[in-house]
Amino acid sequence: MFADQFGLDVEYEKIDAGPDEFPAALEDFRRAGGIGCNITMPLKNAAWQLAADSSPQVGQAQAANTLVYQASGWFAHNTDGVGLAADLTRNHALELSDRRILILGAGGATAGILGELLAAKPRQIMLVNRNLERAHTLAQRFDSLGEVKVTGWSELARHDSFDLVINATSLGHQGRTPPLPGAVFAKDSVCYDLNYFKASLPLKTLCERVGQRYIDGLGMLVEQAAASFHIWTGKRADSSLVIKKLRDHRY
């Protein structure tokens, strides 16, 4: 759909490859003429390690979702944080500076968005995760950009409420919701789910039941893809048209 806006003839297809097959699949793609690709979980860390070079954001996140082939080899980018920030601020007119932000989960999805969120200068960012050691390790990787606090699920109810709660867990794919205490949401707060389509329904249903404003991650999906498209082509597509088409098609 982005290419159609500019009359470009492109091929963009899914290539199924597990962790063991990924290096060979990427090389086969390059030999067949591939010049750029998106990488999805669980291969984002492997993409970072396979790349000949990467952006500073990728090095900090230790995860890449966009590769572009150059003379020296694959160059890795991560457009997840840019995509999230664009959806929040441009598509939904949300302010990030001086806000209290809670991120659910401390995996690769969180690593991809932390840098961009810290750059917005929020009042506080807190990670909640079952594995506290993993969360602390992730927070320390970003301490040059700002402080990231860590807490466990059992202690979450003891903290003050948050203006923005971001679900970066994969529980929705299992039909489950994070164990969120109601007091976690401040007045006029927003619950943003990185999941979209079927995986977003459990948390969306929960928020609708309690009257909590909820936004799914479809806009982020499109915005991070638009950023990748710009890396590959130098052209900036109109994301709003694509978001509307996808929502009209799926909902």
Question: CA 64, 65, 71: angle at the middle one, nearest 5?
Answer: 70
The DSSP secondary structure of 93-149, one letter per residue, reads ----TT-EEEEE--SHHHHHHHHHHHHT--SEEEEE-S-HHHHHHHHHHTTTT---E
Residue among 14, 44, 235, 245 flagged as catalytic: 44
Residue 186 near residue 168, CB atoms below 8 Å: no
**Any bridge partners for residue 69, and if so which?**
74
Question: At CB < 8 A and 24+ separation, what contacts does 66-71 make?
Answer: 66/36, 66/37, 66/38, 66/39, 66/227, 66/228, 66/231, 67/26, 67/36, 67/37, 67/38, 67/39, 68/35, 68/36, 68/231, 68/232, 69/30, 69/34, 69/35, 69/36
- Three-state secondary-structure class, residue 193: strand
Instruction: Look up 14 and say whether it is catalytic.
Output: no
DSSP one-letter code for 87 = I
Extract the tokens encoding 208: 């609708």
**Any bridge partners for residue 172, and if so which?**
none
Q: What torsion do the CA atoms of 218, 151, 138, 42 make, to the nearest 10 degrees?
A: -40
Annotated catalytic residues are: 44
